[in-house]
Amino acid sequence: MDELFAPPTYEWQRLSPRYVTLRQLSALLFWPLVLTIPAVLIGLVWNLWWVAGLIWLAAVLIALDRAWFGRKSWRSWGYAERDDHLYITHGAWFRHLTAVPYGRMQLVEVESGPLERAFGLATVTLKTASPDTDARIPGLSASDATQLRDRITELGESRSSGL
């Protein structure tokens, strides 16, 4: 994190540390599961079990890499609530900084999938009139998420401006 993508004056607020575990777990589950299908197919159809084994090895390596990357990714996320804007940053390699004026918010969503729920996490998404606005904060603890939603909805109401 360098100052180029830093918010003005304040420190970033971080996501819940459980988000790292969530990311690592989902990476470890996802890659082996997905790559098992072609591996088994290749093994059964062409009887090339050594290729299947290689694919499996690759799957495990990718999963481990992703799992390792999970911490780095977690560290890249951050958000900051300022007077007029919500700042969100993410991406370790492909870095993004999004600033959304509270007055431009059309709605705020809180979502939580089954895996996220198991970890007590939720995702907050801000929508504006522009489909390009990419303002999503994943991995917030459920209580943080609802509190954040309530705060920014209130700010949005007081600052809302016509299109």
Partner 1 sequence: MSEPRVTQPPPAPAPAPPVRPGVKQAERPHPLTPFIRGWLVLVAIVLGFARQFLENGSSGGGINTSDLRWIVPFGVAVVLAAAAAGFLSWYFTRFVIDDDELRIETGVVVKRSRRVPFERLQSVDIVQPFAARFFGLAELRLEAGAGGSGIKLRYLSRVDASRLRDYLLTRAHGHSARIADVADSALPSRFTDLGQGDRTLVRVSPQRLIGSFLLTNNWLVTAGFALLIFVITAAFQVAVALPGLIPVVISAVSMIGSRVIAMFNFTVAESGRGVRITRGLTNLASQSVPVNRVQGVRITQPLLWRPFGWYRVDVDILGYTSSDEGRDRDDATTVLLPVGAAADVSHLLDRVLPGIDLDTLELRRAPRRAAVLSWFDFWTLRSGYDARVVVTEQGWLTHARYVVPHAKAQSVRMYQGPLQRRLGLADVHIDTPRGPVKAVARLLEARAARELAMSQLGRARAARSTAEGRAALSPDDASEADLLDHFGIGADTLIGTGGEAKVYALDAERVLRVYHSNHQSTVEVVGQLQGLYRAWADQQMAVPLILQNGTWAGRVYTVNRRLPGENFADWLAGADPTERPAALMSYLDAAGAVQQLPAPIPGFARLVGSGAPARFDSLVSLLTAQLQPQLEVSRVALQADIPQVARVWEELVRALHARQCRPAVVHGDFCPANIYLARSDDGRLRISGVGDFSPHTLVADPWMDLAGAVIFLELEPYPEAVADSRWLEQQALSRWGRDLARWIAVYRRFYGFYFSSAYRFDPALYQWCIRQLTPLGG
What is the binding site for partner 1 (CB under 8 A)? 4-5, 8, 84-85, 93-101, 103-104, 128-135, 161-163
Least separation in angstroms between residue 50's CB and partner 1 is 34
Closer by beta carbon to partner 1, 55 or else 78: 78
Report the 10 Å Cβ neighbour count for 2.
Answer: 6
Of 125, 24, 42, 30, the residue nearest 79 (C-alpha) = 125
Sheet holding 135-141, edge to edge: 107-111, 121-127, 135-141
State residue 145 phi and psi, 5-degree precision.
-60, -50
Give helix 18-46 / helix 49-76 axis angle, nearest 10°.
Answer: 160
Closer by beta carbon to partner 1, 48 or else 99: 99
Least separation in angstroms between residue 52's CB and partner 1 is 33
Specify the DSSP element, H or E, that contains 148: helix 142-159
Least separation in angstroms between residue 156's CB and partner 1 is 13
Contacts of 101 (CB under 8 A, 6+ apart): 84, 85, 159
Closer by beta carbon to partner 1, 147 or else 160: 160
Closer by beta carbon to partner 1, 51 or else 92: 92
Least separation in angstroms between residue 54's CB and partner 1 is 28
Least separation in angstroms between residue 155's CB and partner 1 is 13
Closer by beta carbon to partner 1, 21 or else 128: 128
The dihedral sign for the CA sequence 90, 92, 93, 95: positive
